[in-house]
Structure 1
Amino acid sequence: MNSFITLEGKRALVTSGTRGAGAATVRLFEELGARVLTTARTRPPEMSEAQFVAADLTDSGGCAEVAEAVRERLGGVDVVVHMLGGSSAPAGGYRALDDVEWQKEIDLNLMPAIRLDRALLPGMEAQGAGVVIHVTSIQSQLPLPEATTAYAAAKAALSTYSKSLSKQVSPNGVRVVRVSPGWIETESAVELARRLASEHGVDVQQGKQMIMDSLGGVPIGRPSTPDEIANLIAFIASDRAGTITGTEYVIDGGTVPTA
């Protein structure tokens, strides 16, 4: 048990908690004493049914199912971590983004947080305590025009929404904080590096370097690990961060330059 922070007795919802930084956050929260419920479209075999809700959060009905499960199984919630996000948009910049593609990015990266917050925040305000963590992205500041325009715009909207929400609910004891990761070395990120390496006839490490170069460079020389993202989230969720609200923590190895 980590002696610096504890989440003992906390009830937590972590969306998209079956792989990558989401899975790392679920594991760490449980190690620190929290009761955790997570959700994705499909339950992995290693995860128990008791801690999982199968739902599609891009749909309002899926969000309603998860909110109801939180109330039934946990009796309320103390920490909500909105980890869900990603992009399936085609490359090609604005010309490749029709209304359908734009709506997909908004439905995945913005609306689930809005819907779940709307369902769960009244209970947090009523108990006079809680933490909401919105996982945004440095893409909201450093979009890649050919690849991430819609994703970056949706994450920027999430960030603005999060800041506004913090102003409203912090006086009622609910903290709202943003975590903005850069490149995370997840399974899919490593697979991308392998694919790039194969396409260009180089090794995997050089494939990773190509990804970092596309982001304008990562001064620390490597991506963040899922566990490093989880460590930051756990600290913010803990009582050690009791007066931190309305702000954003960038964890990107120095990718975003100072203006």
Structure 2
Amino acid sequence: MKPFISLEGRRALITSGTRGAGAATVALFQELGAHVLTTARTPPPTPSAFEFVAADLTRPEDCAVLAKAVRERLGGVDIIVHMLGGSSAPAGGFAALGDAEWNRELDLNLMPAVRLDRELVPDMAARGRGVVIHVTSIQRALPLPEATTAYAAAKAALSTYSKSLSKEVSPQGVRVVRVSPGWIETEASVDLAVRLAAEHGADVAEGKRMIMASLGGIPIGRPSTPDEVASLIAFLASDRAGTITGTEYVIDGGTVPTA
């Protein structure tokens, strides 16, 4: 029986693919038959079957190195999944954010996608086929002003850029789609729950409830798993989603209270 989804023979670049939802996406793409190249600042702790390039994608020169590696190792790319993102901005609201903090958030959450697309999407358009998936965040619509203003603004910029790119290259056969996760239960988020629990003399379950409360609640009562996010990305990258472009898919357990 033909599988519901196959990525057999597809060449895929997945950024930030050694931890969390990125690692889950790499593993699923490989399971579905894709030839995957991923990147992070440091190599994975154990040898892996996927192609890997060590790169700091906040640096323009490292984006260029990665694009060159994609051409040399994969011979081009059919699917790009921009997983990279995060925030290191301090708490304290907008007044705590200087130019350096704003630049760091933009350099991490927006510019790597812009630079890599500029390097790689023209070849997709020339072939008349390809998929680009930008992983944004529900915080583009639901920012947390105490600590994530700059991150949320950068993800909103990524979403707007993605929509504009889709309008430009979809007529040339390149689909551009956004995936907008809420809280994902990664190792890093569990560590945060542990820290919150310790600060309040509570258990880890209570630490998780604190995180959900800070988001205004999650109606299904739990965060998404990395595998669930990866499954959505794989579907959107597949031919099953062949007429989907220019739109954003939220996976947040119902956190955002409006459509």
Whether TM-score is above 0.5 comes out as: yes
Partners of 2:147 and 2:209 lie apart in 1 by 18
User: Which residue matches 2:97?
Assistant: 97
Partners of 2:86 and 2:116 lie apart in 1 by 18
Alignment of 1:146-185 (within 5 A): 146-185=146-185
Partners of 1:54 and 1:159 lie apart in 2 by 26
Partners of 1:2 and 1:31 lie apart in 2 by 15
Deviation at 1:82, TM superposition (A): 0.1
Alignment of 1:35-184 (within 5 A): 35-48=35-48, 51-184=51-184
The 3 A distance-change label for structure 1 pair 30 and 2 is farther
Kept in 2: contact 1:82–1:134 (CA 8 A): yes
Q: Which runs of 5+ in 2 are unaligned?
A: none
Deviation at 1:200, TM superposition (A): 0.5
Deviation at 1:50, TM superposition (A): 6.0
The letter of the residue matching 1:197 is: A
Kept in 2: contact 1:63–1:112 (CA 8 A): yes
User: Which residue matches 1:19?
Assistant: 19
Partners of 2:47 and 2:79 lie apart in 1 by 20
Paired residue secondary structure (1:114): helix
Kept in 2: contact 1:223–1:253 (CA 8 A): yes
User: Which residue matches 2:226?
Assistant: 226
Paired residue secondary structure (1:107): helix
The percentage of aligned residue pairs carrying the same residue is 79
Paired residue secondary structure (1:3): coil
Partners of 1:253 and 1:247 lie apart in 2 by 19
Deviation at 1:4, TM superposition (A): 1.1
Partners of 2:258 and 2:89 lie apart in 1 by 29
Is 1:210 the equivalent of 2:214? no
Kept in 1: contact 2:56–2:62 (CA 8 A): yes
Q: Which runs of 5+ in 1 are unaligned?
A: none
Deviation at 1:46, TM superposition (A): 1.9
TM-score (normalised: structure 2): 0.98
Runs of 4+ in 1 over 4 A off after TM superposition: none
The 3 A distance-change label for structure 1 pair 185 and 109 is same
Partners of 1:186 and 1:3 lie apart in 2 by 28
Kept in 2: contact 1:2–1:32 (CA 8 A): no
The letter of the residue matching 1:41 is: R
Partners of 2:198 and 2:24 lie apart in 1 by 29
Q: Deviations over 1:69-91 (max 9, x none)?
A: 00000000000000000000000
Kept in 1: contact 2:139–2:155 (CA 8 A): yes
Paired residue secondary structure (1:12): strand
Partners of 1:249 and 1:201 lie apart in 2 by 37
Partners of 1:15 and 1:35 lie apart in 2 by 14
User: When the two structures are aligned, how many residues end up with a matched partner?
Assistant: 259
